[in-house]
Copies of this chain bind each other. A is one copy, B any other.
Amino acid sequence: MSAIAKTWTLEVSDRERLIKAAFEAREFAYCKYSNFRVGAALLAADGSIIKGANIENASYGGTICAERTAIVKAVSEGTRAFVALAVTTDVPSAISPCGICRQVLREFCALTMPVLLVPSNYDKLVAEGKADGGVLETSIDELLPHSFGPEHLELPRKP
């Protein structure tokens, strides 16, 4: 990440309701194996917000993270254009999406799409005067450089 300070990408009102939605989403985590709750909220191009939580599975491999839950919820309702993602957990620092989620987000989101990693103590940090609430703002491209995507399956093949 650049050391140069970023200006916020979203309007303050959108940013605030997206972060709030990520915390609400976290309430419905089903995480009996990890006890690690995650909430995600996607801001769609039409202004709507889609919430996801992590849904774990006894097989472990069948687990679906909060970010992917949010994406498939949206797409299965016909929404495929997104402008931002916020993710939060129970940990008071910025926690990043796993590689699986980065790959699934990549299928639908612009590489420049902002991804907000929100610490669990966001409200406290804001109340203490830390304006950004400790949020780490990154992007799909920063999270998945040299990404593999749909266009690569279309490339001419010369074995």
Contact = CB atoms under 8 A, between A and B. Distances in A.
A86 interface: no
Contacts of A73: 69, 72-73, 76
Contact of A100 (B78, B100, B138): B100
A33 B33 contact: yes
Interface string A35-76: 111000000000000011101111111111110111111011
A143 B146 contact: yes
Nearest to A92: B158
Given A90-B159, A99-B102, A157-B91, A76 B53 contact: yes
A152 B58 contact: yes
Interface string A135-159: 0101000111111111011011111
A41 to B, nearest CB: 11
B57 A64 contact: no
Given A98-B103, A99-B147, 14 more contacts: A30-B75, A33-B34, A55-B75, A57-B107, A61-B61, A61-B63, A61-B98, A62-B100, A68-B72, A89-B157, A91-B157, A99-B100, A99-B148, A117-B146
